[in-house]
């Protein structure tokens, strides 16, 4: 059993790199390069390449998988599969955070968990994989990561816009719109934390925290929708 983060990433991918330097570059944050006497290339150019590859293979996957869907629906599903949070989840599945090369300041600031760093690393990884093994390898990795999400497209689209999905559900089933109430705002001004709840009439559906109001509302909407759907699916006596 290896403890090398790069080995673990290759295990998660299910393939090794013919050129390990490409994998290392994909995980090299600009802050790391900036601190070296002889700066290695960072992952920004690979990110640019990987972004294009991700868009293409996802589009082809959906085109082949769902011949019944029109262009508008295909676009919505593609957006859900490639949105920022989806890329963060893919990066976490592959444990990219553990392999990131970060500058000291970025490391101390929690850079291994920073969503933007994980997004960049995932796209850079795809760019590196494209150069190392070709488009087929990128396609196989993306299909594997997306497969679970494609089992239930309705849930996937709800996750893309949970507030919209919750409002649609409550309007249809209860003829009410949900409301979001901020309970507290704590922490320093540059890094506040919002605590809020989502209400349906007088009923509290969910309560959550977030680094900003938008994030907290999104998380609360997801939890509230899950509560209502569980109640709908529960057997009635």
| 131 in Cβ contact with 22 (< 8 Å) | yes
Q: 184 with 226, same domain?
A: yes
Residues with active-site annotation: 51, 123
Q: 14 with 75, same domain?
A: yes
Last residue of a domain, one of 122, 150, 178: 150
> Is residue 23 included in any domain, yes or no?
yes
Residue 23 has pLDDT above 60, yes or no: yes
> Is residue 182 included in any domain, yes or no?
yes
Q: 141 with 189, same domain?
A: no
Last residue of a domain, one of 87, 121, 150: 150
pLDDT digits (tens, 9 = 90+) for 161-175: 888 889 988 998 999
pLDDT on residue 1: 54
For residue 65 the two structure tokens come to 């998988």
CA distance 122 to 117: 9
pTM over the 0.75 mark = no
Phi/psi of residue 210, nearest 5 degrees: -160, 160
Q: Is 11 exposed, middle or buried (0-12, 13-18, 19+ CB in 10 A)?
A: middle
pLDDT on residue 236: 59
- Structural domain of residue 137, as residue ranges? 5-150
> Is residue 113 included in any domain, yes or no?
yes
Q: 143 with 205, same domain?
A: no
pLDDT digits (tens, 9 = 90+) for 74-121: 998 999 899 888 999 999 999 999 999 999 999 998 999 999 999 999
């Amino acid at each position: 059993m290896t403890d090398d983060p790069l080995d673990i990433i290759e295990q998660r991918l299910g393939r090794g790199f013919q050129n390990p330097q490409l994998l290392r570059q994909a995980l090299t944050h600009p802050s790391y390069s900036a601190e070296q006497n002889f700066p290695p290339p960072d992952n920004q150019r690979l990110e640019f390449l990987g972004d294009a590859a991700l868009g293409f293979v996802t589009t082809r996957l959906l085109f082949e998988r769902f011949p019944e869907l029109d262009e508008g629906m295909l676009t919505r599903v593609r957006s859900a599969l490639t949105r920022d949070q989806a890329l963060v989840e893919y990066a976490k599945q592959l444990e990219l955070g553990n392999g990131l090369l970060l500058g000291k300041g970025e490391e101390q600031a929690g850079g291994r968990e920073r969503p933007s760093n994980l997004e960049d690393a995932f796209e850079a990884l795809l760019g590196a994989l494209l150069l190392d093994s070709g488009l087929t390898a990128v396609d196989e990795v993306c299909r594997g990561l997306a497969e679970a999400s494609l089992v239930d497209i309705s849930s996937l689209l709800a996750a893309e816009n949970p507030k919209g999905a919750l409002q649609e559900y409550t309007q249809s089933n209860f003829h009410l719109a949900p409301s979001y109430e901020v309970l507290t705002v704590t922490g320093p001004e540059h890094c506040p934390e919002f605590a809020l709840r989502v209400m349906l009439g007088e009923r509290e559906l969910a309560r959550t925290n977030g680094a900003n109001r938008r994030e907290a509302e999104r998380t609360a909407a997801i939890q509230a929708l899950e509560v209502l759907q569980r109640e709908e699916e529960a057997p009635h006596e």
